[in-house]
């Protein structure tokens, strides 16, 4: 069961402007304290930054109190910090690049990698990110 209202976390991945880590954590903790119990994220959001932030916030609450949705379709790979990558609207992100991978194994790896970034053992909702961009 998910709540009618979710916290979208693209801004916490530095969409268009940086959000310092302590402020991002304060947003999540404030949302949890106010009773908002569903967060939506994706590896795409800040090339993993939003998922990492969610993991830090979830460490302070009971996992059963919050539902988490993430997405598959883009996998993240480390790159040389000097190498230019497509920001896709996100700023001050980790040195990673996104690669589309809609294969069965790619979807499973994407989920496993998201779980690792968030430090959790499951998500409650899993979406295919931008399915209209692909003929699947």
**pLDDT per position as a tens digit, 71-130:** 999 999 999 988 878 889 999 999 999 999 999 999 999 999 999 999 999 999 999 988
pLDDT value of position 136: 55
Active-site amino acid positions:
45
pLDDT value of position 85: 80
User: Quick one: DSSP state of residue 27?
Assistant: H
Query: What SS3 state is found at 10?
Result: helix
**pLDDT per position as a tens digit, 49-69:** 999 999 999 999 999 999 999
Q: Do residues 45 and 13 make contact, with C-beta atoms less than 8 angstroms apart? A: yes
User: Quick one: DSSP state of residue 82?
Assistant: T
Q: Does the structural domain 7-131 have CATH classification 3.40.50.300?
A: no
**pLDDT per position as a tens digit, 116-130:** 999 999 999 999 988
Q: Do residues 104 and 48 make contact, with C-beta atoms less than 8 angstroms apart? A: no
Distance CA 77, CA 62 (A): 30
């Amino acid at each position: 069961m998910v709540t009618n209202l979710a916290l979208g976390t693209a801004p916490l991945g530095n969409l268009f402007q940086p959000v310092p880590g302590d402020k991002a954590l304060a947003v999540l903790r404030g949302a949890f304290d106010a009773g908002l119990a569903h967060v939506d994220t994706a590896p795409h959001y800040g090339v993993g930054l939003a998922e990492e932030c969610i993991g830090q916030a979830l460490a302070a609450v009971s996992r059963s109190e919050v539902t988490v949705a993430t997405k598959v379709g883009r996998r993240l790979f480390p790159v040389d910090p000097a190498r230019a990558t497509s920001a896709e609207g996100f700023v001050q992100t980790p040195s990673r690049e996104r690669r589309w991978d809609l294969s069965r194994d790619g979807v499973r790896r994407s989920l496993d990698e998201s779980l690792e970034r968030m430090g959790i053992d499951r998500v409650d909702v899993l979406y295919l990110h931008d399915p209209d961009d692909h003929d699947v």
